[in-house]
Amino acid sequence: MNFEKIDHILKEHEYKHSAIISIMQDVQGIENYLPEDTLRYISEKMELKLTRIFDIATFYKTFSLTPRGRHTIRVCSGTACHLGGAVKNLEQIQRTINIQEGETTDDRMFSLETVNCLGACALAPVMVIDEDYYDAVNPGDIEKFLSPYRSEPER
């Protein structure tokens, strides 16, 4: 872990305890997850109890304590997407890359997540891979959407 970057983030937020959520969001931005030694480091530097940090890390859905894959697939499970067949899309993705929601493939290529609602309900059902949105998805499209990411060189 790059402690210099973490120090910079802590400094930016003036080590304020009330800013801990923002700090953790920024720190997660570095490696896309929160390694344990990083959280211990933050706890020490901020003089903030490790239990509080873990409380936050496990309470809020955005935080991950395990490494994520190179590409994150987020399937929107908002109401409009659910009605439009999000579950069938999710199942098809699970079959295609052989992992369950919340898991990462063995080759660390994909992580699969669901998200409550992306607020793009008029485009339902929606799926997002990294930053790319896919609208009106149906199970037959899944393979076509995923395959370009497999061959993409590492970011």
Judged by CB under 8 A, the residue of 1, 5, 35, 85 near other proteins is 85
Beta bridge pairs of residue 74: 113, 128
Which of positions 30-49 make contact with other proteins (CB under 8 A)?
Answer: none
* Residue 52 engages other proteins in binding (rule: CB under 8 A): yes
Distance CA 87, CA 35 (A): 31
Counting Cβ atoms within 10 Å, is residue 56 exposed (0-12), middle (13-18) or buried (19+)? middle
Distance CA 28, CA 134 (A): 25
Judged by CB under 8 A, the residue of 5, 25, 68, 101 near other proteins is 25
* Residue 129 engages other proteins in binding (rule: CB under 8 A): no
Judged by CB under 8 A, the residue of 12, 135, 148, 152 near other proteins is 135
Question: Closest separation between CB of residue 126 and other proteins, Å?
Answer: 7
